[in-house]
Amino acid sequence: MPLPLLALAVAAFGIGTTEFVIMGLLPDVARDLSVSIPAAGMLVSAYALGVTIGAPIVAIAVANMPRKTALMSLIGVFIVGNLLCAVAPGYAVLMAARIVTAFCHGAFFGIGSVVAAGLVAPNRRAQAIALMFTGLTLANVLGVPLGTALGQAVGWRATFWAVTGIGVAAAAALAACLPARIEMQKASLMHEFSVLKNPQVLMVLGISVLASASLFSTFTYITPILEDVTGFTPHAVTLVLLLFGLGLTVGSTLGGKLADWRLMPSLVAFLLAIVVILTIFAGTMHAEIPAMITIFVWGILAFAIVPPLQMLIVDRASHAPNLASTLNQGAFNLGNATGAWLGGMAIGAGAPLTALPWVGVATSLGALILTLWSVSIDRRAQRMAVAG
C-alpha cells in the first residue's frame, strides 16, 4: 500500500471506530450520565444525521482549500470532537461533541476518495479508494471490539481518549505522507452545486441510500435475530459479528478490483447477489452454521458495492467530484438511518424478526432497478452520440 493511502486508511480506521464503538458502550454511557438507553441511543442517530447534514456544508467550506490542508483540518476537527467526548461533563456536551465529530466524517471520506483516486494510475482508482476504506472495515473488525472492551474495562471515556490518540497518529501520518501539492479543481459554490442538476449523479446518490438501507434494515437488529431466532449465545454473537467484519474487509478489496475492471457490470452483479443472499438468509437464519456462512458472504457483498459507488460518483461528477463524493457519504448515512427506521417500523407493525431480510430484499431490489435504469440511460446516450 502506498504511504499516502496508508495514512488515509489510518484516519478512516479512527473515524470508523468512533462512529460505531458507541453502540457497544451505550449501557455504560447511559449509567454514567444518568440517562435512559433510548436517550443514549440518540448519540448514534445524531452522528448519522450529523454526517448527512454536515457533509455538504463542510465540503463547500473547504472547497477551495488545498487538498492536504483540507484533510488536515478535518482530522483536526475529528481530534477535537473525540477529545470533547472524552471530557464531556454531561449528556448535552457529549451530544454536541458527537455532532462536531460527525461533521468531519462525510467530507473526509468524500475528499479522501478523490485524493486517493488521484494518487494512482487511472486503471487502479477504485482499488485506491478501496484501500482507504479498508481502514473503515478494519474499524469494525478490530477498532469497535477493542474499543468496547477497553470502555467496559476502565470506563467509556478511555475509549474516546484512545480514539483521540488514533486521530493524532493519523494527523502525523497525513502530514508526513501526503504530497504537499495535490491537483484539484477550484470551483465556485454555484458550480459545485450544479452537479445536482445531473440526473445520473442523483441516481448514484439514490442507489447509495437504498443499498445502505438494505444492509441496515436487517443488520441493525442482527443481535436479537442471532440470539432469538438462530439460538446463539451473546458471546457467540460477538464472534459472528467479527466474521461479518472480516467479510466487509474482503468485500472492500474485491469491490475495488472488480470496479477497476468493469465498473457498472460489477455493481449490477453485486446488487443482484445481495438480493439473493438476503433471500437465502431468510431461511438459513434458523440454523447456526448456515447462518454464519450466509452472514460472512453478506458481509463481503455489503462492502463490495462501496468502492464502485464511490468511483461512479467521482466519474459522473468529474467537474465537481469533491462535493459529489462527500454527498455520497451523506447518502450512505441517510441509508443507515432509513434502513434502521424501516426495520423498526416492520417490527412495530407486528412483523417477526424473521421478516426483516425481506425488507432488505425490497430495498436492494430498488437499488438494482435504479442501477439498471442508469445503465440504460448511459447506453441510450452512447447510441445517440454515435448516431450524431
| Structural domains of the chain, with CATH | 1-183 (1.20.1250.20), 185-388 (1.20.1250.20)
The distance from CA 328 to its chain's CA centroid, rounded to whole angstroms, is 10
How many Cβ atoms are within 10 Å of 345's Cβ, its own excluded? 12
Comparing 8 with 333, the larger pLDDT belongs to 8
With a cut of 70, say whether residue 1 has pLDDT above it. no
- What is the pLDDT, as a whole number, of residue 319? 72
Chain centroid, CA 116 distance in Å: 16
Q: How far apart are CA 17 and CA 15, in angstroms?
A: 5
Name every residue whose Cβ is closer than 8 Å to that of residue 350 and which is 6 or more positions away in sequence.
none
Angle between helices 263-284 and 288-304 (to 10 degrees): 160
Cell of 318: 468529474
Residue predicted with more confidence, 211 or 56: 211
- pLDDT tier for residue 71 given thresholds of 50, 70 and 90: very high
Q: Write down the pLDDT at residue 191.
A: 65
Q: Which residue has the cell 490542508?
A: 69
Do 61 and 77 contact (CB within 8 A), yes or no? no
Task: Please report which confidence band the pLDDT of residue 329 belongs to, taking 50, 70 and 90 as the band edges.
Answer: confident
pLDDT value, residue 277: 97
pLDDT of residue 8: 93
Percent of the chain with pLDDT over 90: 40
Spatial contact of 325 and 108, defined as CB atoms under 8 Å apart:
no
Closest to 217 in 3D by CA, of 281, 127, 151:
281
User: 84 and 93 in contact (C-beta within 8 Å)?
Assistant: yes
Looking at residues 324-341, what average pLDDT do you find?
A: 84
pLDDT digit string (tens) for 84-140? 999 999 999 999 999 999 988 888 988 888 888 888 888 888 888 888 888 888 887
136-150, 168-182, 239-253, 264-278, range with greatest mean pLDDT: 264-278
Candidate from 89-103, 277-291, 340-354, 363-377 with smallest mean pLDDT: 340-354
Where is average pLDDT lowest: 14-23, 278-287, 296-305?
A: 14-23
| Region 302-314 average pLDDT | 89
DSSP run (H or E) holding 80: helix 67-87
